[in-house]
Structure 1
Amino acid sequence: MGGPRSRANRFLPLYVSKFESQHGNVRYYFRKKPGPKQYFKSVLGTPAFLAEYNAFLNPAAPAAPVTRAEPGTLNELLDRYMSVPERLGPSAVTQQKITAILEDFREGRGDRPVAQVTFEAIDKIVAKKMVKTGTGNKTKGGLHAARKLRKELIRLFDFAIKAKMIGENPARMSEKVKTPAGERSHGFHTWTEEEITQYRDHHRLGTRERLAMELILWTDQRRSDVVKMGKAQIKNGRLPVEQDKTGETLWLAVPGQLLEAVIAMPPKHTNPFCFLITSRGKPFTKESFGNWFKKACVAAGLPHCTAHGLRKATLRRMAELQMSNKTMKSVSGQRSDKTLAKYIEKADQTRLADSAISQLAAWERSLAANDSDEKVAGESA
């Protein structure tokens, strides 16, 4: 076995690591100790990369022939598009996710000519993705998956137009993915204040479950970032966060409520470099943390609540306090107002409407008062 893997390399094949060259380019190498480092010449995710990997892994075996994609096919388009990882996203995590989506699209259709892909074909592919398969944590497909696939295909075929492989974008002309009638989705459930209180009542200070909830609630970060946080990182009362998904760097103040939960933890359940550790004393992965936290929610009588829904609750709170979009994004690390709007749609409509109408009423009264003063002034003149 390859032993424990660094967090930066956990999505790569066994024995493969990445580094940044002096020119700022990301490169990959293979090393199975005690052997030497062997550097890849091909692009991650391509058939040529896989052939190199197999050759490094089995040096005694005859090298597999590297097959080039037929010109004008989806295989060629995908290989060219993914040859620059930055096209897929700003971080390694996002790049891995988009690669998985596009490789799934490639399967069974890679040898088809790009020029023959129609919007009707895209409609059928996306409609098929709408159907959920599997059970539990291994489900695939669904509304979100279909929307994500269509979004990435639009980007892929935009590239195909620039590469002069096609004249128009069939994915852009395809039907938008609509929520089925009677099934309007707000995504993950946004925690209410009552649910936050219920969770706290069940999981008291001094438990990992309580600290996990307070970390998400007060930092508003994804589980992939929360599992990397530790006491030793705190500087001048702030936690540094370098978001896995976006690459954004944030400094977040540590409020008293979170500090109280940190201090209450028994030493055996935490360590200076990682607030949250498993029962075996190891840091959580984002996947194991998500499953573990879900069980904590179920134990508190909140089976419909999730870590992501708690993150939405923090944004809901800020929206109800009428904080600006810029202020909210300074905490969440989001870049787009459009994305932010989806997270804060569960803000208390009644409270916000009361505030808006109160402000309108006060504004109208001030106008009436000004008119009255001007009238009196005119009569006295």
Structure 2
Amino acid sequence: MRLYHRKTGVRLPDLPEDHPDFIAAWMKEENAGPKPTRHDTGTLGAACRLFEHSAIFRGYSDVYRNTMSKHLGDISGRYGKVKTSALRERHIASDLARFDGHAARTRLKAWRSLFAWATSEGGLMESDPSRGLRRARVAKSDGYPPWTPAEIAQVREAWPIGTRQRAALELLHWTGARAVDGRSLTRGMIDSDGVLRYRQSKTGSEAFVPMRTPLPEWCAELASDLDLALQAVDAIEGKPLLFLETAWGRARTAASMSNYVSNLARSAGVAKSAHGLRKTRLIALAEIGATSHQLMAWCGHLTLAEVERYTRLASRRRTVMGTERKQNLQNEDGFLQNGPVRG
């Protein structure tokens, strides 16, 4: 898998991301990134710079702010010298034509966020030239597919307890944390009651996961998953404060964490993602009868609508099943079979 430095576009060595030569190459590009261009007042470049320093932009979540910053940087680099007063709908449409599907939608969000600020608090523009544009159509998708029990077992066999790869698998599988949050989970986030408590980067909401506390009755049958997670993270030499630090004692970036999980899975013959592990946990909780509020607490969702698709499908299955629910749930995949699950 080829990796490139995000800022400079330079290809990085084909080495593990915790290899000293890979880290050195990455740091070289990080420190040698392009210097920002200063644009004259009234230009699009100046507007992008001011927007990124605004209170509205700083209020975005880390994940969303990072995404918007990349698009604003590209917009500034391409069209920074253009006067904002000269912008018309056809100019924005021409830029959007360079993208497809979700990428086009995200680009339009960047334009509209910039113009919303520039026409109100920024006071730099009188109207929004993107106002009449429609969002790009995207094909319906089930998103990242969840891992099956067979795939998890396959990766466990490839990476034994004591390896960092196994620790990453088990911790993300148990917590259901996104890669961007899983990379920064620490032992210090486990409170005096044994509950792992962390604030999510994407939404800012808190998630609560039982770690070193007896499991409540409603999820007691998941004890084996918790036991494996604890074994895996405690087997790492020195038991570092940061659960998933690199071999050199550093935290991974969000992209690096995602790539790390995809790569450790691929090396075991499994083509799945870190986010697929999050969906696996949500499905497992729904199948044992977790309520929407229990799912929200565990995985940090903000609204009932985000989790009810899991509980709704699980409930429909239970209405047609007998007393041998556990046995019946163990179909060949171990997952909900009456429809796709997104999220």
Alignment of 1:228-267 (within 5 A): 228-235=184-191, 236-254=193-211, 256=223, 257-263=225-231, 267=235
1:108 CA drift (Å): 2.4
Please show how residues 75-90 of structure 1 align to structure 2 within 5 Å. Answer: 75-90=45-60
Normalising by the residue count of structure 1, what TM-score does the alignment of the two structures yield?
0.60
CA contact (8 A) 1:224 1:286 kept: yes
Moved over 6 A (4+): none
Q: How far apart in 2 are the matches of 1:160 and 1:266?
A: 51
Contact in 2 for aligned 1:202/1:300 (Cα 8 Å): yes
1:242–1:168 CA distance, 2 compared to 1 (3 A): same
Q: 1:97 aligns with which of 58, 62, 67?
A: 67
Change (3 A) 1:276 1:110: closer
- The residue that corresponds to 1:211 in the other structure is 167
| Residue of structure 2 equivalent to 1:368 | none
Query: Relative to 1, partners in 2 of residues 1:193 and 1:150: Cα closer, same or farther, differing over 3 Å?
Result: farther
Please point out which of 257, 261, 277 is paired with 1:310: 277
Map residues 7-46 of structure 1 onto 2, 5 A cutoff: none
Amino acid at match of 1:313: T
- Structure 2 partner of 1:157: 115
* Alignment of 1:289 onto 2:257: yes
CA contact (8 A) 1:233 1:239 kept: yes
What is the distance in 2 between the residues matched to 1:69 and 1:321?
A: 60
Aligned length: 279
Instruction: Tell me by how many angstroms 1:98 deviates.
Output: 1.8
Q: CA-to-partner distance for each residue in 1:140-171, whole Å, 9 max, x for gaps?
A: xxx33322111222222222332554454333
Cα deviations by residue, 1:69-97 (Å, 9 ceiling, x for unpaired): 333x3234323322215425434554333
Q: 1:294 to 1:123 in 2, by over 3 A?
A: same
Relative to structure 1, is the Cα distance of residues 350 and 285 closer, same or farther in structure 2, using a 3 angstrom cutoff? closer
Q: Distance in 2 between matches of 1:117 and 1:265?
A: 54
Q: Deviations over 1:182-234 (max 9, x none)?
A: x5433323323443343334444444323212211221212232223334543
Q: Cα offset for 1:128? A: 0.2
Match of 2:136 in 1: 177
Amino acid corresponding to residue 273 of structure 2 in structure 1: T
Contact 2:208–2:299 at 8 Å: present in 1 too?
Answer: no
- CA distance 1:317–1:168, shift in 2 (3 Å): farther
- 1:349 to partner: Cα distance: 8.5
Contact in 1 for aligned 2:164/2:236 (Cα 8 Å): no
Does the 8 A contact of 1:90 with 1:247 survive in 2?
A: no
What is the CA–CA distance in structure 1 between the aligned matches of 2:64 and 2:134, rounded to whole Å? 25
Matched AA of 1:170? P
Alpha-carbon contact 2:195-2:208 (below 8 Å) kept: yes
* Partner of residue 223, structure 1: 179
Change (3 A) 1:323 1:260: closer
Q: Report matched runs for 1:2-151 at 5 Å.
A: 69-71=40-42, 73-92=43-62, 94-130=64-100, 143-151=101-109
Q: SS of the residue aligned with 1:147?
A: helix
Compared CA separation, residues 351 and 115, structure 1 to 2 (3 A): same
Q: Against the structure 1 CA distance between its residues 228 and 129, is the aligned structure 2 distance closer, same or farther, given a 3 Å change threshold?
A: same
For structure 2, the 5+ residue unaligned runs are 1-26, 216-222, 322-343
Partner of 1:192: 148
Rounded to whole Å, the distance in 2 between the matches of 1:348 and 1:325 is 6
- Which digits, 9 at most, give the CA deviation of each residue in 1:105-140, with x for residues without a partner? 12221232334433333222122033xxxxxxxxxx
Q: TM (normalized to structure 2)?
A: 0.66
In the alignment, what sits opposite 1:273? 241
Alpha-carbon distance between aligned partners in 2 of 1:352 and 1:230, rounded to the nearest angstrom: 35
- The CA deviation at 1:103 is 1.4
Residue 316 of structure 1 aligns with an amino acid whose one-letter code is: I
Distance 1:227 1:156 in 2: 30
1:18-63 per-position Cα deviation (integer Å, ceiling 9, x unaligned): xxxxxxxxxxxxxxxxxxxxxxxxxxx975xxxxxxxxxxxxxxxx
Task: Report if the CA contact (8 A) 1:262-1:275 is conserved.
Answer: no
